[in-house]
Chains A and B, each alone.
Chain A
Amino acid sequence: MTQGQQIRLGRAMVWLLSTLMVGLLLLPLLGLALSTGFSEFVAGWSNPAVLPALWLSLETSTLSLLLSLLLGTPLAWLIAQSRGQRQALAESLFKLPMVIPPAVAGVALLVTFGGSSWLGAQLATLGLSLVFTKAAVVLAQTFVSAPYYLSAAISAFRSVDSGLMWVGRSLGAGPARVFFRIALPLAAPALFSGAAMCWARSLGEFGATLMFAGNLSGRTQTMPLAIFTALESDLQAAQALSIVLVLAALMVLFGTVLARRMGRSRQEKGENL
């Protein structure tokens, strides 16, 4: 084989493998879109489980996002400010829920907060029970999705030049004003995309929710659970819900790309007063 042929063969291989990868990633989505015609999509909505699942999913994933923002932002700030091995260890520990299988997360939540656990017993004496409630859905979603926001927020805060913050302090601003006027706006685009990923992960949460919160239509049955349930009886409903989730995912992706671009152009140029 001549050298030219070798190069051509190599190029062909790269193209072939790349095409297979693209096919593997896009074909299932294309299949879903093509098999769900407009009439199937509309018909899917007539299933009585669909709308409650949609609303429950929107409600719980939004609550879990707010929880992650409220509790995750201060923690990310603390971790980003500190340096050294202990901080690195803490950081990877908090990322663990991202990596462990959802089923394991479900078991962990169940044995920690469930009715037969010590915490569950304490809650029961107060007349509270988490399992099979909306709160359990939010808890399960937050457990698996908060690390997505947390890790994005840590690197966002860490990328803010600490020199700017010292200058801000030397200009007479206290730590709070430096945080809200300098650190937060500079980190905002990355925080936004972290929040979007976090919300998307909550929206898609399945395993941990199923095990910890159950699959009660109208109470704990989120969209992924409704899809799973409908798969046996009403494929059209499953398809309709799937399309909604794909559209939501697309929105999140475009949103993060847009946020990143906005962040870049905001620093490079532009006028404002």
Chain B
Amino acid sequence: MTSRALQVDVQVVVGAFALDLQLELGATERRALIGPNGSGKSIALRTLIGAHRPNRGVIWVGDRCVFDSARPLALPPEARRIGYLPQDYGLFPHLSAAQNVEFAVRSRHPQWSRSERLQRAVAYLDDLGVAGSRARRPGVLSGGERQRVALARALAAEPTLLLLDEPMSALDIEVRREVRSFLRQTLERLKLPTLLVAHELDDVLSLADRVSLMDKGAVVETASVEEAARRPPTAFACEFWRTSPKQEPNALLE
């Protein structure tokens, strides 16, 4: 048993974009991926779930190898046990909240009856405080409720790693603070290793403990949140941390 949750070293080509990703995540680590638009953050997440096939490299999730170009081995997405929330949360619009979660419960418990699976699905919804929305379709849920349902659904598939692609970007500005603090509490409670793409300084500060800066398809720096803010290596990072290399950013951070 290793203490890392994720170890990635892959090269992926998607269209004209080349991703050269090296990343290692600790067992309960929450890592933020930041970087300018087009630096490959979302492609990195989609590569991990198996939507893009790397040209070469290895991906380990915990102590399981899910991709190795040398063997060759490429587990299909359904066998990787990686929870993934896209920017818009990816809820199935024709299914109720409970049916959305039941879809994931069924993967782990195919032998259960439909009512047993729905019962478990409602328990997951209840755990995140949205059991009241069980019969409603995603189209009538608020942004915050959608995020909770999507999170409940991802958890119902019992993942060993959680990927969140800009979890706040689909929300109205006014509700972000509240949703963010709920998400923070939930992630801290779950103790599930998490890799999240972030665009806002506030998201990184409250949701992550370490941060990787991406540029042109590669990770250029990884550090703790405090450290990264102290010495931003690129122009983008300076702007992101709302500081400049000459200033003393600690004061800004507090």
Residues of A within 8 A of B (CB): 161, 163-164, 166-174, 177, 181-182, 185-186, 266-273
27 contacts between A and B (CB under 8 A): A163-B88, A166-B50, A167-B90, A168-B92, A168-B103, A169-B50, A169-B76, A170-B49, A170-B50, A171-B78, A171-B103, A171-B154, A171-B156, A172-B104, A173-B106, A174-B76, A181-B92, A181-B103, A186-B94, A266-B94, A267-B93, A267-B94, A267-B139, A270-B137, A271-B96, A271-B137, A272-B99
Within 8 A of A (CB), among B88-120: 88, 90, 92-94, 96, 98-99, 103-104, 106-108, 118
Interchain CB contact under 8 A, A170 and B78: yes
Interchain CB contact under 8 A, B86 and A167: yes
Task: Give complex CA distance A266, B92 in Å.
Answer: 12
Report whether over half of chain A's contact residues are helix, strand or loop; otherwise say mixed: helix
- Tell me how far the C-beta of B228 lies from the nearest C-beta in chain A, rounded to whole angstroms: 29
Report whether over half of chain B's contact residues are helix, strand or loop; otherwise say mixed: mixed
Query: Which residue from chain B places its CB closest to the CB of A267 in the assembled complex?
Result: B93
Interchain CB contact under 8 A, B139 and A273: no
A272-B137, A273-B99 known; A171-B157 Cβ under 8 A: yes
- Tell me how far the C-beta of A262 lies from the nearest C-beta in chain B, rounded to whole angstroms: 11
Interchain CB contact under 8 A, B139 and A174: no
Interchain CB contact under 8 A, B78 and A169: yes
Interchain CB contact under 8 A, A269 and B139: yes
> Which residues in B have their C-beta under 8 angstroms from that of A266?
94
Contacts beyond the supplied A166-B86, A167-B84, A167-B86: 13 A-B pairs with Cβ under 8 Å: A163-B86, A163-B88, A166-B50, A167-B90, A168-B92, A169-B50, A169-B77, A170-B78, A177-B106, A267-B93, A269-B137, A270-B137, A273-B135
Task: Give complex CA distance A185, B94 in Å.
Answer: 8
Residues of B within 8 A of A (CB): 46, 49-51, 76-78, 80-84, 86, 88, 90, 92-94, 96, 98-99, 103-104, 106-108, 118, 134-137, 139-140, 153-154, 156-157
> Which residues in B have their C-beta under 8 angstroms from that of A172?
78, 81, 104, 106-108, 157
B134's partner among A171, A177, A270, A273 (CB-CB below 8 A) is A273
Interchain CB contact under 8 A, A272 and B93: no
* A-B interface pairs (CB < 8 A), number: 88
- Tell me how far the C-beta of B101 lies from the nearest C-beta in chain A, rounded to whole angstroms: 9
Task: Give complex CA distance A267, B139 in Å.
Answer: 6
> Which residues in A have their C-beta under 8 angstroms from that of B80?
170
- Tell me how far the C-beta of A178 lies from the nearest C-beta in chain B, rounded to whole angstroms: 9
Task: Give complex CA distance A177, B99 in Å.
Answer: 14
Interchain CB contact under 8 A, A166 and B77: yes
Query: Which residue from chain B places its CB closest to the CB of A188 in the assembled complex?
Result: B94
B77, B104, B135, B136: most-surrounded residue (chain A CB, <10 A): B77
Interchain CB contact under 8 A, B93 and A163: no
Task: Give complex CA distance A161, B96 in Å.
Answer: 18
Task: Give complex CA distance A133, B228 in Å.
Answer: 79
Task: Give complex CA distance A269, B134 in Å.
Answer: 14
> Which residues in A have their C-beta under 8 angstroms from that of B154?
171
Interchain CB contact under 8 A, B136 and A271: yes
Q: Which 5 A-B pairs have the closest CB atoms?
A: A172-B107, A169-B77, A167-B90, A171-B104, A170-B84
Query: Which residue from chain A places its CB closest to the CB of B139 in the assembled complex?
Result: A268
> Which residues in A have their C-beta under 8 angstroms from that of B92?
164, 168, 181-182, 186
A167-B86, A273-B134 known; A173-B107 Cβ under 8 A: yes
> Which residues in B have their C-beta under 8 angstroms from that of A173?
78, 103, 106-107
Query: Which residue from chain B places its CB closest to the CB of A172 in the assembled complex?
Result: B107
A168, A169, A177, A268: most-surrounded residue (chain B CB, <10 A): A169
Task: Give complex CA distance A164, B78 in Å.
Answer: 13
- Tell me how far the C-beta of B105 lies from the nearest C-beta in chain A, rounded to whole angstroms: 9
> Which residues in B have their C-beta under 8 angstroms from that of A177?
106
Query: Which residue from chain A places its CB closest to the CB of B88 in the assembled complex?
Result: A163
- Tell me how far the C-beta of A230 lies from the nearest C-beta in chain B, rounded to whole angstroms: 47
A166-B51, A171-B104, A181-B103 known; A273-B94 Cβ under 8 A: no
